[in-house]
C-alpha cells in the first residue's frame, strides 16, 4: 500500500478524493443542488448497495475462476455451468431440507466433487495444452447446459430465503427527512447484507489461507513457477485437485446465493461466465484481490448504469473492460509475466 | 517447421507436377463436378437448407480457420463480424422494418457492409492482439457478448430484440437469388471464391510471414517483421470473409436478430471450425456440413432412439467433446491419419500393398 502511494502519488490522490466523495455522497444529507443532478438519494444509495451485493456475488463466482486460472492456466469456460448447477442443486436440496445452513455445504461438496472428477479425469490428460483444455470446457458447458435444460426445464426458479433473513434491515444512513423533519433511515433487504458479509468472510478466509498456510504457500509457489514447485518434490496434482475442487465448490455456493436474489434459468450460466471473465480481465488474471476489486467495480457500474442509463448498462461493463485492456492489459492488480 | 508442414499440406512442394490447373488433385475435380451438377439430382430442401446453409456457416468458420490456423489466434468474434455485415445490409438495404431501413441500391450497401465489418474486425483485432492464446478467446468472447447485448438493447439502429426480417437478396440479372438453385450457386460461388482467396493469401508473402509470426513471434520481430501489424491485418482479411458469409447467412435466413450473434451462435462457429479441422481451409466446410446434417436430422435420429427431439445440442456438444478428445485436428485429422496408415501399409520399394509374408 505505502509502496503504491510512493510510486503513484497522483493516482493515490485521485483514488483518495474519489473515495472521500463517495463516502460524502453516502453519509451526508443531500442538498437540493445534488438532488437535481443525481436524483433522489434513496435511489442512488440503493444502486450503490445493490452494486455492492452484486459485486459480492460476482466475487464468489470469479474468485474460483481466477484461482483455477492462476494455478493451472486453465480457462474453465464451464465455470458458469457449475454456478447454475450449484443453484439448481441448491433449489432441490433446500426444498427437501428447507435450511440454508444445510444447503450450502451440500452444494459445495457436490459441485466440488464434480470439479474433482473433471480435473482428475479430463484436464489432467491434457496438461499444458491450454487451447485444447479451453475447447473441452466449451464443449462441457454446451453439454451441461443441455443436460440441465433437460432436467430442470426452461422455467426460472428462485430459492426461498430462510425465515430469519427475510424482510428489510434499517441501516444507520440517512436518506432524507419526512414531513415533520425527522430523519428517514435507509432500509435494505437483510439477505443482501448477509450475502455481502458472507462474501467478505470468504474473501478474507481465502486471503488468510493463501498467505498464512502451507497449502496457500504451495498454491502461490505454483502460480509463480509450476515446474520449480514440481521439481522440489511437491505432488502438484494434489494441489491442482484441491484448487479445482475448491473453485468449483465456490461456484456452486455462488449459484445458491445467486438463486436467492436473482433467478435460476437457462442462460444464467453464460451470463455469470461472462461476468467472471470481465471481472477477471479487469482485476487481473489469477489474483484474488484483483477479483475482489474487479467484482466491486463491475457490480457497482452495472447497478449504477441500470439506474441512470438503463438501456446501455451492460455495455458500460464491456467499455470498462476495453479501457482496461487498452491501457493496462494485465489487469488492474495483475502482474506482468 | 510448421510452415513447411503447412506448405506440404497445401501441395506447394510439388512444383514438378505441373502448374496451375494440372496441380489440382483429381479428387478436387470430382468434388467440384459433383457440387456443380448437384441441382440436377438434389431437391430444393437439400440445395437451400443443407448446402446453402453449410456454405454460409462454412465461410464464417473459414474466417476463424484463417485466424486460428495461420495466425494462431482463436477469435470468437467472427460470427459477430458476420452479423454486423448482415445488420448493415438490413439497415442500408430493404427489410420488413421500413422506418429504419434506408432502401439503398445493392451496389452501395454490399460494399459498405463489408467495409464496416472490416473496420469493426480491425478494431477488435487491434484490441485482441494485445493479448495471446486463451486471453484472446476470453476477450473476443466478451466483445461478442457485448455486441449481442448492445443490439438487443438498441432500438434506434438495430431494432432491439426482434431485429430485422424480410431481408432478401436483390433481384439481379432477372434472377431471384432466393430460389434454391440460384442461392445454391451463389453460396457455392462465394464459398469457392473465399476458399481460393484464403489459399492464395496463405501462400503470399503476407501469409507466410503470418505463419512465421504464429510459430515464433519473437524471431519474426527480430527479423524486422511488424508482428502486431501482421496480426491486425489478418483480422482485417478474416473480416472480409466473415462479412461475405454473414451477408449470405442473412439472405438465407431472411432475418437478422441479436441471436444471430448470440453466445451459442458464436460458440457454434468455433465448434464447426474445430470439428472440421483448423489446419486446412477445406476443414470449416467439412465441419459446417457435418454440423448442418446433425442439426437437421438429429431430431429424427434422436426420436428413433426414443429420446426427446430437443436434445440436439447435447449431441453436438458430445460430438465436439469427442473430436477435441480424440482428434484435436478435427475430422480432417482423422482422414489424414487413415491415409497415413494406408501409406504405411504400402511397400516402399514396389508401391504395392504389403502382404503378410514380405512385411
pLDDT tens-digit series, residues B62-72: 999 998 888 88
Question: CA dihedral in degrees (A52, A57, A61, A63; nearest 10)?
Answer: 40
CB neighbours (10 Å) of residue B342? 10
- Of A213-222, B6-15, B16-25, the poorest mean pLDDT is in B6-15
pTM of the model: 0.80
Whether A73 and B145 lie within 8 Å, measured CB to CB: no
A314 CB within 8 Å of a chain B CB: yes
Distance of CA B259 to the CA centre of its chain: 18
CB A295 within 8 A of CB A278: no
Q: In the prediction, which pLDDT does B45 show?
A: 75
Whether B320 and A140 lie within 8 Å, measured CB to CB: no
Q: Output the average pLDDT for chain A.
A: 82
Distance CA B314, CA A114 (A): 19
Give the highest mean pLDDT range of A271-285, B83-97, B230-244: B230-244
Quick check: A145 pLDDT over 70? yes
Residue A134, min C-alpha distance to chain B (Å): 7
When pLDDT is cut at 50, 70 and 90, the band that residue B107 belongs to is confident
Helix (H) or strand (E) holding B176, with range, is none
ipTM over 0.85: no
Whether A329 and B130 lie within 8 Å, measured CB to CB: yes
Q: In the prediction, which pLDDT does A178 show?
A: 66
* Residue A141: closest C-alpha in chain B: B317
State pLDDT tens for residues B222-249. 888 888 899 999 999 999 999 999 998 9
Tell me which DSSP letter residue A172 carries: E
Residue with more model confidence, A259 or A172:
A259
Quick check: B221 pLDDT over 80? yes
In Å, how far are A19, A145, B64, B198, B199 from B67, measured between CA atoms? Answer: 44, 28, 5, 10, 13
Q: In the prediction, which pLDDT does A177 show?
A: 66
Closest by Cβ to B321, choosing from A140, A285, A321: A140
- All three cell numbers of A290, joined, read 484483483
Report the pLDDT averaged over residues B45-50.
77
Residue among B263, B268, B327 with most chain A CBs within 10 A, to mutate: B263
pLDDT over 70, % of chain A? 92
Chain A 35-74, residues with CB within 8 Å of chain B CB atoms: 73
Report the pLDDT averaged over residues A209-214.
86
When pLDDT is cut at 50, 70 and 90, the band that residue A111 belongs to is very high
Report the pLDDT averaged over residues B130-145.
79
Q: Write down the residue that cell numbers 444447503 correspond to.
A: A103
Report the pLDDT averaged over residues A242-250.
90
Quick check: A30 pLDDT over 60? yes
Residue with more model confidence, A136 or B172:
A136
Amino acid at each position: 500500500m505505502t509502496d503504491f502511494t510512493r510510486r503513484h502519488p497522483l493516482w493515490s490522490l485521485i483514488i483518495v478524493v474519489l473515495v472521500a466523495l463517495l463516502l460524502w455522497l453516502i453519509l451526508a444529507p443531500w442538498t437540493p443542488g445534488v438532488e437535481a443532478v443525481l436524483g433522489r438519494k434513496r435511489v442512488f444509495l440503493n444502486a450503490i448497495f445493490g452494486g455492492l451485493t452484486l459485486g459480492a456475488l460476482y466475487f464468489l463466482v470469479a474468485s474460483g475462476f481466477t484461482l483455477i486460472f492462476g494455478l493451472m492456466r486453465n480457462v474453465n469456460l464451464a465455470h458458469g455451468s457449475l454456478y447454475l448447477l450449484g443453484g439448481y442443486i441448491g433449489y432441490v436440496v433446500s426444498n427437501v431440507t428447507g435450511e440454508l445452513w444445510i444447503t450450502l455445504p451440500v452444494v459445495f461438496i457436490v459441485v466440488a466433487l464434480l470439479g474433482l472428477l473433471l480435473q482428475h479425469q479430463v484436464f489432467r490428460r491434457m496438461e499444458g495444452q491450454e487451447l485444447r483444455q479451453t475447447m473441452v470446457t466449451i464443449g462441457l458447458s454446451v453439454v451441461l447446459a443441455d443436460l440441465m435444460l433437460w432436467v430442470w426445464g426452461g422455467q426460472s426458479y428462485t430459492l426461498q430465503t430462510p425465515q430469519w433473513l427475510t424482510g428489510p434491515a434499517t441501516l444507520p444512513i440517512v436518506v432524507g427527512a419526512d414531513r415533520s423533519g425527522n430523519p428517514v433511515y435507509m432500509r435494505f433487504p437483510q439477505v443482501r447484507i448477509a450475502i455481502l458479509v458472507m462474501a467478505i468472510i470468504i474473501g478474507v478466509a481465502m486471503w488468510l489461507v493463501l498467505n498464512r498456510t502451507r497449502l496457500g504457500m504451495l498454491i502461490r509457489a505454483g502460480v509463480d513457477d509450476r515446474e520449480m514447485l514440481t521439481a522440489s518434490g511437491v505432488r502438484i496434482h494434489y494441489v491442482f485437485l484441491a484448487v479445482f475442487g475448491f473453485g468449483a465448490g465456490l461456484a456452486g455456493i455462488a449459484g445458491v446465493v445467486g438463486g436467492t436474489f436473482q433467478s435460476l434459468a437457462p442462460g444464467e450460466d453464460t451470463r455469470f461466465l461472462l461476468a467472471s471473465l470481465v471481472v477477471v480481465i479487469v482485476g487481473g488474471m489469477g489474483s484474488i484481490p484483483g477479483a475482489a476489486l474487479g467484482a466491486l467495480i463491475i457490480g457497482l457500474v452495472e447497478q449504477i448504469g441500470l439506474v441512470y442509463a438503463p438501456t446501455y448498462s451492460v455495455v458500460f461493463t464491456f467499455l470498462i473492460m476495453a479501457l482496461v485492456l487498452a491501457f493496462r492489459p494485465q489487469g488492474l492488480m495483475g502482474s506482468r509475466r | 517447421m510448421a510452415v513447411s508442414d503447412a506448405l506440404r499440406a497445401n501441395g506447394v512442394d510439388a512444383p514438378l507436377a505441373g502448374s496451375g490447373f494440372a496441380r489440382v488433385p483429381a479428387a478436387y475435380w470430382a468434388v467440384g463436378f459433383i457440387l456443380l451438377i448437384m441441382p440436377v439430382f438434389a431437391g430444393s430442401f437439400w440445395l437451400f437448407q443443407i448446402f446453402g446453409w453449410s456454405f454460409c456457416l462454412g465461410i464464417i468458420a473459414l474466417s476463424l480457420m484463417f485466424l486460428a490456423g495461420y495466425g494462431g489466434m482463436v477469435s470468437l468474434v467472427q460470427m459477430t463480424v458476420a452479423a454486423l455485415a448482415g445488420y448493415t445490409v438490413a439497415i442500408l438495404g430493404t427489410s420488413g422494418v421500413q422506418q429504419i431501413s434506408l432502401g439503398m441500391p445493392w451496389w452501395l450497401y454490399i460494399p459498405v457492409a463489408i467495409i464496416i465489418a472490416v473496420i469493426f474486425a480491425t478494431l477488435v483485432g487491434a484490441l485482441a492482439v494485445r493479448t495471446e492464446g486463451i486471453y484472446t478467446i476470453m476477450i473476443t468472447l466478451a466483445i461478442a457478448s457485448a455486441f449481442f447485448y448492445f443490439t438487443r438493447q438498441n432500438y434506434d439502429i438495430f431494432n432491439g430484440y426482434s431485429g430485422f426480417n424480410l431481408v432478401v437478396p436483390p433481384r439481379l440479372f432477372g434472377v431471384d437469388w432466393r430460389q434454391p438453385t440460384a442461392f445454391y450457386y451463389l453460396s457455392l460461388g462465394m464459398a469457392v471464391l473465399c476458399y481460393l482467396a484464403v489459399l492464395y493469401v496463405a501462400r503470399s508473402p503476407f501469409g507466410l510471414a503470418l505463419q512465421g509470426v504464429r510459430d515464433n513471434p519473437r524471431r519474426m520481430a527480430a527479423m524486422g517483421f511488424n508482428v502486431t501489424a501482421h496480426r491486425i491485418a489478418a483480422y482485417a482479411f478474416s473480416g472480409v470473409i466473415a462479412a461475405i458469409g454473414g451477408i449470405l447467412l442473412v439472405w438465407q435466413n431472411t432475418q437478422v436478430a441479436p441471436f444471430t450473434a448470440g453466445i451459442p451462435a458464436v460458440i457454434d462457429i468455433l465448434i464447426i471450425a474445430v470439428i472440421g479441422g483448423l489446419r486446412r481451409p477445406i476443414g470449416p466446410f467439412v465441419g459446417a456440413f457435418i454440423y448442418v446434417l446433425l442439426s437437421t436430422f438429429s431430431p429424427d435420429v434422436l426420436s428413433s432412439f426414443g429420446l426427446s427431439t430437443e436434445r440436439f445440442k447435447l449431441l453436438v456438444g458430445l460430438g465436439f467433446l469427442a473430436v477435441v478428445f480424440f482428434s484435436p485436428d478435427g475430422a480432417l485429422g482423422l482422414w489424414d491419419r487413415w491415409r497415413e496408415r494406408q501409406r504405411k501399409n504400402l511397400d516402399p520399394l514396389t508401391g504395392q500393398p504389403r502382404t503378410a509374408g514380405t512385411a
